[in-house]
Amino acid sequence: MSLLRKEWFHAFFTTFAPASVGTGVVLCGLFDYMDFKLIFPASISVAVLLFATFALSSVPVGHGLRLPKAIFNFPRSWLSREFLLLVLSWLLYMTVALAYYYRDKYKIEPGTILHLFGLAGLLGLVSVLSMQRTYHLRSVPSWTVDRALSMFVSTAFLIGIMGAAAFLHIFDGRSITDVLWHLHIILYLPLLCDALQVHELVRIKRIIIAATFTALRAPVYMIVFGLLGRIEIRTFAVSVLIALCGDITLRVAFFREETTSFASFLSNARRKRLSHTGIGGPQQ
């Protein structure tokens, strides 16, 4: 696989993993806003998103069969910790679905099911923190912890809010507009993260990239804050697609920012993976 394709797969993985996690976390925060019966489709939906993320995760580690080995290297590898936490989160979401399905047979309390769902979301958030540590490298000084963290958290909550709104529209018939207005305060977090990213870009080339990224996200913020009036589902779907394209574009720029250093790092990591972590992706 060429270096360019590796960059794109890293970009897809680091976009969809936080987005999946964010969807679960936002849905967890909406339990008082929705019917308890929605816990089953909610847990299944997030589990499916995470499973799709695992399919992408086989590329950063080099080969799908190396994923179990990658997970068991968690004492020494931030990437392994990230995968392990995502797997545990997925298992908990599946446990929530099973617990809901058999709640009458085994007399499982609703509070227990809700706590399991919340714990799954918490593990997902910790995996996002592990993700930003994965891309903190001395070989690429521009990949700072703060910048990586702001990028991943921004994706988790912006796309997560959009995913939660889509879920409630599909499974509960809620208005997209009403759901997004209910969540508008949370959106200040991704807005702050976007501001931090732009502040840290000091070169002209990076400023152009940031401006492009902001332009891609502008329609999303306009729709979220109701500046375009009532939101139709097709307009909403296009907005989510624009937001994902913006995030993936920023990821590719992020991974290619120091192309020589990144290529050198991947080459060195591939040679040393047997003696260190056994993983071909970025490590500290």
26 by Cβ neighbours in 10 Å (0-12 / 13-18 / 19+) ranks as buried
pLDDT on residue 73: 75
Q: What whole-number distance in Å separates Cα of residue 144 and Cα of residue 11?
A: 17
User: Per-residue pLDDT tens for 2-33?
Assistant: 444 567 777 888 889 999 999 999 999 888 88
Q: 48 or 190: which carries more pLDDT confidence?
A: 48
* Predicted confidence (pLDDT) at residue 36 exceeds the cutoff of 80: yes
Residue 163, helix vs strand vs coil:
helix
Q: How confident is the model at residue 246 (pLDDT cuts 50, 70, 90)?
A: confident
Residue 149 pLDDT class (50, 70, 90 cuts): confident
- Report DSSP state, residue 234: H
Tell which wins on pLDDT, 186 or 262: 186
Q: Which of 2-6, 88-92, 179-183, 205-209 has the highest mean pLDDT?
A: 88-92
Among 28-42, 92-106, 133-147, 166-180, the minimum mean pLDDT is found in 133-147
State the Cα–Cα distance between residues 223 and 203, nearest whole angstrom.
Answer: 31
pLDDT at 57: 62
Q: What is the pLDDT of residue 281?
A: 47
Task: Indicate the burial class of 261 (C-beta count within 10 angstroms; 0-12, 13-18, 19 or more).
Answer: middle
pLDDT of residue 257: 61
- Give the sign of the dihedral formed by CA 262, CA 263, CA 269, CA 272: negative
pLDDT tens string 56-88: 666 555 544 455 666 677 777 887 888 889 999
Q: Cβ distance 11 to 251 under 8 Å? A: yes
Q: Locate 37 and state its tokens.
A: 């019966």
Token pair listed for 261: 């250093």
Poorest-confidence range of 65-69, 73-77, 106-110, 235-239? 65-69
